[in-house]
Amino acid sequence: MTDSNTPRHFLTVLDLTPEELRGLVRRATELKTAGRSGEAYEPLKNRILGMIFEKSSTRTRVSFEAGMAQFGGHAIFLSPRDTQLGRGEPIEDSARVLSRMVDCVTIRTFAQDTLERFAAFSRVPVINALTDMYHPLQLLADMQTWFEHRGDIKGKTVLWVGDGNNMCHSYINAARQFDFRLRIACPEGYDPEDSVLQRAGTRCEIIRDPMAAAEAVDLVVTDVWASMGQEEEHARREKAFAGYQVNDELMARADREALFMHCLPAHRGEEVTASVIDREDSLVWEEAGNRMHSQKALLEFLLCDPAWTISG
Ligand code: CP
Ligand code: NVA
């Protein structure tokens, strides 16, 4: 935290500096390696993370709960179904109350504005656990996974295939922060938000033809065609995205050493074939596992004296 009245938040990938993000990625790998020794490291003893989830989650919820337990702290799961949030208590009031009781809050919700309003009234750091607009936590894990296998991503070319959704927006922001090029292959009508894209300048471009876009890329990333909250659009989206599947033919266009990532959950036979996601050397399981390590690094950064490593 910068001072006791202004906590640092992680609402988008742009909330940390490029140096801080790189420091987090390094730290995540350190924590992962140290964790294997079995030695306890409990920097968050007696600290509490509140977790508000207005949408389903497996990875984000479990990685935070497990990470907090390993750090000696505790996590409280809060569903709108059984808190006053679901009965219309204003988000600002909830923020003022909860942040007097817990040390950090993570929120998965629909509108980015809800998250921002909570953060504006919170005394403690707030972490975006996914909104319709962004999913920055996934980018920490994806970057960690890339760095662990291929080193620096600066100057590399990443291909996003599919919907210009929350994950795509976070990839655009990550391209700025980590200095990689991003090609976005999406059908017309499903482009990422122009405001997000424009701010990334020339390093991000939309290429309609996914096969052409895949030429020699270093990393291929995709996500579901219908995100949470868009279930009723599924049939329409299936038609629109029909040519936007990550399959063996598309992967063959990419660099020979290209990696494939997916935030999960995946729909085999839709955005990705089983032949790609279930390859023997598929990284998606490690990518999912890295969610916990990278979020532990983030919690440590936001809640402890961050003197540890964050330097160029
Ligand atoms: N990738 C991801 O955020 O997964 P969950 O929806 O299971 O948390
Ligand atoms: N775009 C997906 C990501 C899930 C982790 C969704 O919002 O449902």
Over residues 13-61, the pLDDT tens digits come to 999 999 999 999 999 999 999 999 989 999 999 999 999 999 999 999 9
* Known active-site residue 138: yes
- pLDDT at 309 (0 to 100): 46
Q: What is the mean pLDDT of residues 92-119?
A: 98
Classify burial at 220, counting beta carbons within 10 Å of its beta carbon; exposed 0-12, middle 13-18, buried 19 or more: buried
183 strand-pairing partners: 159, 205
- 197, 172 in Cβ contact below 8 A? yes
Render pLDDT for 170-180 as a digit per residue (tens, 0 to 9). Answer: 999 999 999 99
Q: Using pLDDT thresholds of 50, 70 and 90, give the confidence band for residue 6.
A: confident
169 annotated active-site: no
At residue 4, does pLDDT exceed 80?
A: no
CA 201 to chain CA mean position, Å: 21
Q: How confident is the model at residue 102 (pLDDT cuts 50, 70, 90)?
A: very high
Annotated catalytic, 223? Answer: yes
pLDDT above 70 as % of the chain: 96
Whether 135 sits among the annotated catalytic residues: the reply is yes
Domains observed in the chain: 13-134+291-311 (3.40.50.1370), 138-288 (3.40.50.1370)
Question: In sequence order, what are the beta bridge partners of 157?
Answer: 181
Q: Is 209 a catalytic residue?
A: no
Mean pLDDT in residue range 158-181? 98
Per-residue pLDDT of 230-259, as tens digits, reads 999 999 999 999 999 999 999 999 999 999
pLDDT score of 1:
44
Specify the higher pLDDT residue, 51 or 311: 51
What residue type is 121 in one-letter code? F
Query: What is the Å distance from ligand 2's center to 45 Cα?
Result: 31
pLDDT of residue 305: 66
**pLDDT at residue 2 tops 80:** no
Is 222 near ligand 1, meaning CB less than 6 Å away?
no
- Inform me whether the pLDDT recorded for 3 exceeds 90: no
- Which residue among 135, 169, 176, 262 is the active-site one? 135
- pLDDT for 306 equals 57
| Residue 193, number of CB atoms within 10 A of its CB | 14
CA 221 from chain centre, in angstroms, equals: 13
- Residue 201: CA count within 13 A, CB half-sphere: 8
Is the C-beta atom of 9 inside 6 A of ligand 1?
no
| pLDDT-based confidence at residue 312 (cuts at 50, 70, 90) | very low
Rounded to the nearest integer, the mean pLDDT of the chain is 96
Tell which wins on pLDDT, 252 or 308: 252
What is this structure's pTM?
0.96
Give the per-residue pLDDT at 5. 65
DSSP bridge pairs for 77: 51
For residue 158 and ligand 2, the question of a CB distance below 6 A is answered with: no
- Nearest residue CA, atom 7 of ligand 2? 227
Ligand 1, atom 3, residue with closest C-alpha: 60
Q: What is the pLDDT of residue 311?
A: 44
Candidates 104, 263, 293, 295; catalytic one:
263
pLDDT at 127 over 60: yes
Query: Which residue's alpha carbon is nearest to atom 4 within ligand 1?
Result: 59
- Whether 291 is catalytic: yes
Model confidence at 272: pLDDT above 60? yes
Ligand 2 atom with least separation from CA of 228: 8
Distance (Å) from CA 264 to ligand 1 centroid: 6
